[in-house]
Amino acid sequence: PEELKKEILEKYPTKVARKRAKQIVVNRIATCNEVQEIGANVRTIPGIITQRGCTYAGCKGVIMGPTRDIVNITHGPIGCGFYSWLTRRNQTKPPTENDENFMTYCFSTDMQDKDIVFGGEKKLRAAIQEAYDLFKPKAISIFSTCPVGLIGDDVHSVARDMKEKLGINIFAFSCEGYKGVSQSAGHHIANNGIFTHVVGLDDTVKEGKYKINLLGEYNIGGDAFEIDRILKKCGITLISTFSGNSSYDQFANAHTADLNTIMCHRSINYVAEMMEEKFGIPWIKINFIGSEATAKSLRKIAQYFQDQELIDRVEEVIAEEMPEILKVRGEVRPRCEGKTAMLFVGGSRAHHYQELFKEIGMKTISAGYEFAHRDDYEGREVIPTIKVDADSRNIEELEITQDPDRYRPRKSSEELERLKAEGFKFKDYDGMMREMDSETLVIDDISQYETEKLIEVFKPAIFCAGIKEKYAVQKHGIPLKQLHSYDYGGPYAGFKGAINFYREIDRMVNSKVWSYLKAPWQKSPELSAKYACD
């Protein structure tokens, strides 16, 4: 891998090579028992074909998009709203036919040239009024796209005015696409907004002995439905999910839960931290991708509540679910054993999905995130050492203090001591690199060129990424599994999800079709491209 890194970098101009060198790391965890530092959450170098999306996508598409009963208005050109309209396959299921679901609509101010010249606030006001007249929603939120920031529309003052006029909750996000270096900035902006404007508005205490929130689960391909099924079976009450299959009321009531569990650490750790500071709810990292990881996460939740009834119930559920999983795994594993995978996705799945591959005997030889931060690679203990650059400073860090009336520590200090003695860890995430083998290549914000190099050298049995990478990779004769949209399949979370994933990967890596495939440039060599710096 060290050789390959050198070879990749050689093609770049010196300055580019110097920057990319920090973001390409050969994992040495087993040999030196220490995670190396990786460059992450920095600007993509202009000219490089990145997998990344924008800040607006992270705020509107990712965090707020999956909520069904807030009217989400994109203030901007129509393409931005259209792009983020359900392409992520975030599913939802209103409890009854009378409950709202606005996700099938795409709300946008459809900005035109004249709005850019004369300002778009009037149009935004009119759009809010129109949405209100038509739907009478509980809440409306507004999302800024690039031109909004450039021309200086004050979306927050429009939101305040309209909130007063209409008497419903209206709030805006300054999540212009260029605001940060990737989607990640949009996550943070969305976390701040939802925490400021919605969390804590409804103090109703719901029934339930074990009340949790599920943070960072977006119900892609129905994942959250499967997790809900399992939690229900265990007798655990889900107060809210951020934000798969969620509603406005869930967010408003989230602070009444007794534990926050985090699936995707990258996108939602801010809300978890703020809920702990303001309301005293502790958080733990869990992972429902992979059957072993699911069992481990359920046990961790049960251990937190320190209640024998729940501990026993969780064991019963695991014992009930596992036989079917082991049966399918046993069938699939001999056909997949020893095959290799590469995963380049988002900010958590490139890590989580390694679990599922491991269960069927496959090895991850290279992986990386599009936009995660160093803690998602190296573990949270590096957070104090992360340099805050101008780009991150650009994103507001909210000052949170204890709520004078509603702050309530969920565990006494004796209970905390007992849990600690049992090895229980709060606020803990070890990151991706510790769980990968030595000599694997970890690459942040991988480029198209680097992707092609990896494929050429390692010829993995499967490459996992997104829609932009899919066909370029498959033209090399390597199957690509989309770990964002799941290629219209899923769910892959929880117990039933693991079975779906085993079967899907078995089908993909054992199909003969790939070996028959000839790329266009293999058939017509004159089509083969040359890199400019050759």
Residues designated catalytic: 54, 57, 88, 187
User: Which stretch, 73-81, 270-278, 316-324, 477-485, contacts ligand HCA (CB under 6 A)?
Assistant: 477-485
Task: Name the minimum Å distance from CB 66 to ligand CFM.
Answer: 9
Site for ligand CFM in 467-486 (CB under 6 A): 484
Spatial CA neighbour of 445 closest among 534, 350, 355: 350
Helix, strand, or coil (residue 223): helix
Q: Does 76 bind ligand HCA (CB under 6 A)?
A: no
- Taking the complex as a whole, the smallest distance from the CB of residue 452 to ligand HCA amounts, in Å, to 17
Min dist. Cβ of residue 66 to ligand HCA (A): 11
Q: Residue 87: name its binding partner from ligand CFM, ligand HCA, none (Cβ under 5 to 8 Å by kind).
A: ligand HCA
Q: Which stretches within 104-235 are classed as H helix?
A: 113-118, 121-135, 146-151, 155-166, 183-197, 223-234
Nearest residue (beta carbon) to ligand HCA:
466
Write down the least CB distance from residue 430 to ligand HCA, Å: 24
Q: Which residues pair with 401 in a beta bridge?
A: none
- Confirm or reject binding of residue 56 to ligand CFM (CB under 6 A): no
Mutual angle of helices 308-336 and 494-509, in 10-degree steps: 10
Phi, psi (rounded to 5 degrees) for 268: -140, 5
How many residues of this chain bind ligand CFM (CB under 6 A)?
Answer: 16
DSSP conformation letters of 269-286: HHHHHHHHHHH---EEE-
What track of x and - describes contact with ligand CFM for positions 246 through 265 (by CB under 6 A)? ------------------x-
Q: What DSSP assignment string belongs to 363-400?
A: EEEEEE-SS--HHHHH-GGGGGG----HHHHTS-----
The residue (of 346 and 431) whose beta carbon lies closer to ligand HCA is 346
**What are the tokens at 319?**
């014992």
Residue 477: partners with Cβ closer than 8 Å, 6 or more residues away: 514, 515, 517, 518, 519
Q: Alpha-carbon Rg of the chain, whole angstroms?
A: 23
Q: Provide the sign of the torsion angle of the four alpha carbons 222, 300, 319, 313, taken in this order.
A: negative
- Strand spans (E) along 378-505: 441-443, 462-465, 480-482
> Of residues 29, 40, 57, 314, which one binds ligand HCA by CB under 6 A?
57
The site for ligand HCA, by CB under 6 A, has a size of 13
Site string for ligand HCA, 431-470 (x = CB under 6 A): -----------------------------------xxx--
Closest approach of ligand HCA to the CB of residue 90, in Å? 8
Q: Which of 72, 183, 253, 297 binds ligand CFM (CB under 6 A)?
A: 183
Among 75, 88, 197, 265, binds ligand HCA (CB under 6 A): 88
- Over the window 509 to 528, marking each residue x when it contacts ligand CFM by CB under 6 A and - when it does not, the resulting string is --------------------
Query: Which residue from 37, 26, 98, 47 is spatially nearest to 68, judged by alpha carbons?
Result: 98
Alpha-carbon span 12 to 7, nearest angstrom? 10
| SS3 state of residue 174 | coil
SS3 98: coil
Rule CB under 6 A: choose which of 8, 27, 50, 58 binds ligand CFM.
Answer: 58
458 burial type by CB count under 10 A (0-12 exposed, 13-18 middle, 19+ buried): middle
User: Is 224 an interacting residue with respect to ligand HCA (CB under 6 A)?
Assistant: no
| Residue 106 is a binding residue for ligand HCA (CB under 6 A) | no
Residue 472 one-letter amino acid: A
Give the Cα separation of 286 and 429 in Å (integer): 9
> What are the structure tokens assigned to 393, written together?
């400073």
Q: Is 491 in the site for ligand CFM (CB under 6 A)?
A: no
* Residue 367, strand partner residues: 343, 442
Give strand ranges (E) for 394-511: 441-443, 462-465, 480-482
183 interacts with ligand HCA by CB under 6 A: yes
* Residue 226 or 370 having the CB closest to ligand HCA: 370
CA angle 133/137/140 to nearest 5° reads 95
Residue whose C-beta lies closest to ligand CFM: 346
At its nearest, how many Å lie between ligand CFM and the CB of residue 493? Answer: 11
Of 19-27, 41-49, 321-329, 481-489: span binding ligand HCA (CB under 6 A): 481-489
One of 132, 171, 218, 463 touching ligand CFM (CB under 6 A): 218
293 contacts ligand CFM (rule: CB under 6 A) = no
60 binds ligand CFM (CB under 6 A): no
264 binds, options ligand CFM, ligand HCA, none, Cβ within 5 to 8 A by partner type = ligand CFM
Residue 467 binds which of ligand CFM, ligand HCA, none (CB < 5-8 A, kind-dependent)? ligand HCA
Q: Give residues in contact with ligand CFM (CB under 6 A).
A: 58, 62, 88, 183, 216, 218, 220, 264, 266-267, 345-349, 484
Q: Give residues in contact with ligand HCA (CB under 6 A).
A: 53, 57, 61, 87-88, 183, 346, 466-468, 482, 484-485
